[in-house]
Structure 1
Amino acid sequence: MVGLKAVAVAVVAHAVWGMAKNLTPDLKRVLIGVVAIALALFVPGNFGQLAAIAVGIIAGLIWCRDLLTQDAEALSLRVSKRVGIGAMIVFVVLLAGLPFLAAFTANGWVGVTDAFYRAGALVFGGGHVVLPLLQGEPVIAEAVTQEQFLAGYGAAQAVPGPLFTFAAYLGFEMAAGSTAWLLAAVALVAVFVPVMLLLVAALPFWNAVRNNKLIRAAMAGANASVVGILTAALITPVITSGITGIAPLVIALSCFLLLIFAKLPAWAVVLIGAIAGLLVGMTEFGVAWT
């Protein structure tokens, strides 16, 4: 587990590095990211992350209108406006209604569905952003320890497909016995549904708004905030839980360098980190035994 937690540190740091280069290429967006870090760190739960995104959107509208000059490419996919509006209505109803349903029924299954749906609905900028959103959900935090969370996140890097599949691991860890598999499936579906609904809702209107300066400026600010949110997650809980000594620090730094300079695939880095953690554990066990 030491190795997997260290790998999680390296992977998240690598994601922050890549996103920062693309989404905060100038001083104005760097400042938006710094404000987002502060909000995400010091405002508890997902409220800080939502506040960071809201501030990013407002700052983007003020600062980023003249920064974006390249036109976005048109999409050839065709979805009717009626279908798009219907998908958006379903998205909003679920996002607003699930918390009330969970509170009214006090049903654990509804609570899990609500938590994973909300995390999937609020993701901006890339799959790695789901990490702080999931980590900030009380239902998940109460059922999964930080060690389990980070180890699973590290292992998820070796699994083909989008990072959202990490939700299945969390759902499995949140239950016991035969229900673990069912809860894993519920978590996986719940985290993907809002993304699919938003995609269908946006497609009919994308070509009409793709070059709107206000919308693009708002998204630029929101994406800069996302860099800050993920950086805050890297600081805590990723580094604070994953780096517990010299050995995890060396493993994390080595894996980060392998990702940056050797450009090894994530699954290879996970394997290397896991083996290194296993060797460290065997060494410590041997020292303790003697």
Structure 2
Amino acid sequence: MGSALTTIGLPVALGIIMFGLGLSLTVGDFARVAKQPRAVIIALLCQLVLLPVVCFGLVLAFRLPPVLAVGMMMLAASPGGTTANLYSHLFRGDIALNISLTAVNSVIAVVTLPVITNFAIAWFRPFDDQLGMQWSKVLEVFAIVLLPVALGMLVRRWKPRFAEGMDKPVRVASVIILAVVIAGAVASNWQLLVDNVAALALITVLFCLISLAVGYVVPRMLHVARPQAVACSFEIGIHNATLAIVIAQTVFGSMELSLPAAVYGVLMFFIAFAFGFLIRGRAASSDDTQEEQAEAVVS
């Protein structure tokens, strides 16, 4: 029952999530990237280059077992999750930029995720019989990530009113299915999760915090406006853990490989929420300081 839930349920849940993402996208979301190249390039460099390097350093520092090390690197290589849009909305980020980043990132991940995963497998050698992610598996990643998004975008183009009406039900359905599937997977692999959660809790919390901080601080240092920096922060900090879990369990057939993403997937919601309040508090205090300085100049 548990294995059927994960082998069938997880890809279905991810497919619905990615289809839902497609329903909210238009070709204009990709074109918008050209209008905000600075924020997009900075965010993508942080996501695709800086974070895998940071994650690699953390994995070496924590001396994780090879399978868990590859699982962490696969998580780092995953694109931003659709939940980033919700957090951006809550904490006054640029949601349009979030949507564009998620769209572009999901396309790029079809190439970068297998490349980073292959590097990790070659470095840590967790599987004796496997050299890496072969082309057939890269095609599986392509099918898992892009086909449902493309289908959603086509539905939006041909039936815009239907897509608008289905947007909320699809989101609700994806959350319910995902919750049921994850609950089933946790129940059937409870002991494996318990045995590894202590080893993974600290590194996943640190990785999430660093991801969020990098996504906010680096764009701000490079003079990106605050709403765009907030969007970058959540896009970079909230990885698509579901995608990493699906690839680990369906493409590689390894529950253990999916553990870092599973632990991260639970903890990131709380960390991202706390981080959102932290940067909102900093923004409020900086606004107060600017007002005081303006008053001082006037007086």
TM norm. shorter chain > 0.5: no
Answer 1 or 2: which has greater helix percent.
2
Range into which the TM-score falls when normalised by the shorter chain: 0.3 to 0.5
**Normalized against structure 2, the TM-score is what?**
0.32
Structure with larger RCO (C-alpha < 8 A, sep 6+): 1
**Normalized against structure 1, the TM-score is what?**
0.33
